Amino acid sequence: MKKIGHQDPLWVKAIIHALLITACLITIYPILRIMTISLRPGDRLMSTSLAIIPPDATFLNYKAALFEKDFLLWLWNSLVITLATAVIGLSLASTSAYAISRWKFPGRNAMLIFLLGTQMIPAAMLMVPLYLLAAKFGLINTYRGLVIAYSVSAVPFSIWILKGYYDSIPTTLEEAAMIDGASRMYTFWKIILPLTTPALAIAFLFNFMNSWNEFMLARIMLPKAGMFTWPLGLQSLQGQFTTQWGVYAASSMMISVPVVALFLYSSKWLVNGLTAGSVKG
Amino acid sequence: MNSQVVLTALGQVSGTVFWMFVGFMLIEVSIWAVGNKVLKNKNTLVAMLVTPAFVGLGLLLVFPLIYEVVLAFSNMNLYHFRNPEFSLLNGLDNFKRVFTKPVLQSTTFVPVLLRTFLWTSQVFIHASFGMLLAMLLNRPGLKFKNVYRAILILPWAMPQVISALTWRSEFNFEYGFPNILLNRIGLPGIQWKADAVWNFIAMVLTNVWLGIPFMMVISLGGLQSISAEFYEAADMDGASGWTKFQNITLPLMKPVLAPSVMLGIIWTFNNFNIPYFINEMKLESSEILVTALFRAAFNFSQYGFSAAFALIIFALLFSMTLVYVKWTGALKGVTD
């Protein structure tokens, strides 16, 4: 085994672990509280207890969210809009990223700067024109409207990730295939895309998460309760005087657990994508 | 939730995807016909590959921006929704109003702007704590490193809306844990939602909790890429821990930190969810620029005015970023 550098003395180790454990507690406690509240029975929601697992834990709130509230409807609305968005976003990004990676065509640098510039535009800034345009075209309270509005929002970042990945695939692969008579598009489709699967998965995930967690645009585009995506639904559960805290917490748990699991699983590649430009430069 | 809802959703969404696909195909075929057959240009394939994405960005990003500029020169609001007037005078009036009249009911532009700067400056807290945690995690031979890392990354992984709504309910005076903890140690609870100063602090606390993990992960990535030889050489010369940090760690981390701090600044400046949700009582003293913009547009229906307001915010962010990029060279090598 490789020689590990010098080790810290015991007391330094103790301090490091103490600091890290404190940080972990501060990090995780608010999240555990969601679980605590989701497990509380309805008559004990308002409680000043700090126990993590309440003594009379029950799954009634989960049952209520699933069968009495519109939780499943919100999930369905979010899922349909998000999947369509991610498919469109990924198809647009994967092709243009390939061109940007492989050819030095005129206007390429301008495109890269433009893509980076789009990241600076505050989402709030586009709200007014997007809302007024959507109203003009009758897209308020439709799935269609939100799919269109979301479709390109993650494209610049996806192009960025995918370009970095294509850059790492040697061009000799395509050259060899083309000497054998394959067309450029055939090579892209049959050789390059399959090799890019990990990056495509990450870009897909990023597109997906981007619309899945979006609140502001959905807030103004979908005022009707039956069209709510899950962020709007959860907010409606937290109305000021009728807080249905237990149901809210149970719904939050059911949404967060898969999202967090996916995120932890993919975080390594996501971070690589984020830092790709800087590490190389 | 019934079958009709399911069918409506599927019908609408698949129709949308289908027509977008048809539209892009038409574009592709015409580029191919013109580029390949008429002009015989060697860049036709490139054009075919990049056009769909940039047409999409043009229609849904650039066009709305242009429309926003047009709107800024209109008197559009709830009373003039159907028949807005567009004129230079309206535009000048809108831009003047941003600086001279209250942007919401009583608060004016300058206090909101200064508050936004104060709000954005928390990125340095994210970065320093993120860096500190990363350095702790990066000690050689640290046990449970992956467990710590997985836990510390959780706030970034959580859907932001859920974090914001949850923190908001935890700032409840009676039943939220910060006040329960304060009461347990004998201190009075804090009016997190009603008090102007504490509400702003609540916003910052929430966002610091959310912002540290990103900086930690980025810093950890950077630290791991620094070769141990630098430190070994410094050790031989008898350098102290602080000297090593100052002369090895910081300079080598700069290419990693500079772009991520820039991202952090842009994200924080533009952060809507946290200030919007934590400020449950709609205190005007807690508004930052983007939330004030949202309220001016959608609570007060001042569309023309909001468009002008949005353009000013964008100009501000744009110049801040340019200065930052010039100053740190954060974007070196992006066009490689």
Shared domain check, A16 and A76: no
Residues A80, A54: one domain?
no
Round the average pLDDT of chain B to a whole number and report it. Answer: 89
Give chain A positions within 8 Å (CB) of B8.
143
What does the pLDDT read at residue B334?
62
- Of the spans A92-101, A233-242, B80-89, which averages the highest pLDDT? A92-101
Searching chain A, which residue's CA lies closest to the CA of residue B168?
A238
A23 with A142, same domain: the answer is no
Residue B336 has pLDDT above 50, yes or no: yes
Cβ of B307 and A128 within 8 Å?
yes
Q: How many domains does chain A have?
A: 2
The residues near B39 (Cβ < 8 Å, ≥ 6 apart) are none
Cβ of A279 within 8 Å of Cβ of B331? The answer is no
pLDDT at A183: 85
**A107: domain range?**
64-280
CB-CB neighbors (< 8 A) of A91 in chain B: 52
**B152: closest CA of chain A, how far (Å):** 6
Do the domain assignments include residue A5?
no
Tell me whether residue A1 is in a domain: no
The CATH number of residue A114's host domain is 1.10.3720.10
Same-domain check for residues A159 and A223: yes
User: Which of B67, B298, B334 is facing A220, going by the closest CB pair?
Assistant: B298
The DSSP code for B42 is T
What ipTM describes this predicted complex? 0.87
With cut-offs at 50, 70 and 90, classify the pLDDT of residue B79: confident
Task: Tell me, yes or no, whether A104 and A120 share the same domain.
Answer: yes
End-to-end distance of chain B based on CA atoms, in angstroms? Answer: 50
Is A32 in the same domain as A71? no
Q: Kindly report, as residue ranges, where domains of CATH 1.10.3720.10 are found in chain B.
A: 109-228+256-328
- pTM for the complete prediction? 0.88
In this predicted model, what pLDDT tens digit does every residue of B117-156 receive, in sequence order?
999 999 999 999 999 999 999 888 888 988 999 999 999 9
Distance between CA atoms of A86 and A153, rounded to whole angstroms?
Answer: 10
Same domain, A113 and A34: no
Indicate whether A100 and A229 sit together in one domain. Answer: yes
Using alpha carbons, select from A164, A14, A51, A146 the residue that is nearest to residue A100: A164
**pLDDT tens, residue by residue, B210-240:** 999 999 988 988 888 888 888 888 888 888 8
- CB spacing of B50 vs A48 below 8 angstroms: no
Q: Confirm whether A4 is domain-assigned.
A: no
Choose the mutation target among B166, B179, B302 for the interface with A, i.e. most A CBs under 10 Å.
Answer: B166
Residue in B52, B266, B334 closest to A120 by CB: B266
| CATH 1.10.3720.10 holds for B109-228+256-328 | yes
A26 and A155 co-located in one domain: no
Q: Looking at residues A58-84, what average pLDDT do you find? A: 90
Does A248 lie in the same domain as A129?
yes
| A103·B43 Cβ contact <8 A | yes
| Same domain as A192, residue A70 | yes
Helix (H) and strand (E) counts in chain A? 14, 0
A73 chain-B contacts, CB cut-off 8 A: 1, 5
Instruction: Tell me which chain B residues have a C-beta less than 8 angstroms from the C-beta of A126.
Output: 61, 64-65, 68
Residues from chain A that touch B272, judged by Cβ atoms under 8 A, are 123-124, 215-216
Residue A2 lies in a domain: no
Place of tokens 């590990």: A4
Identify whether residues A19 and A47 lie together within a single domain: yes
The H or E element containing residue B319 is helix B303-328
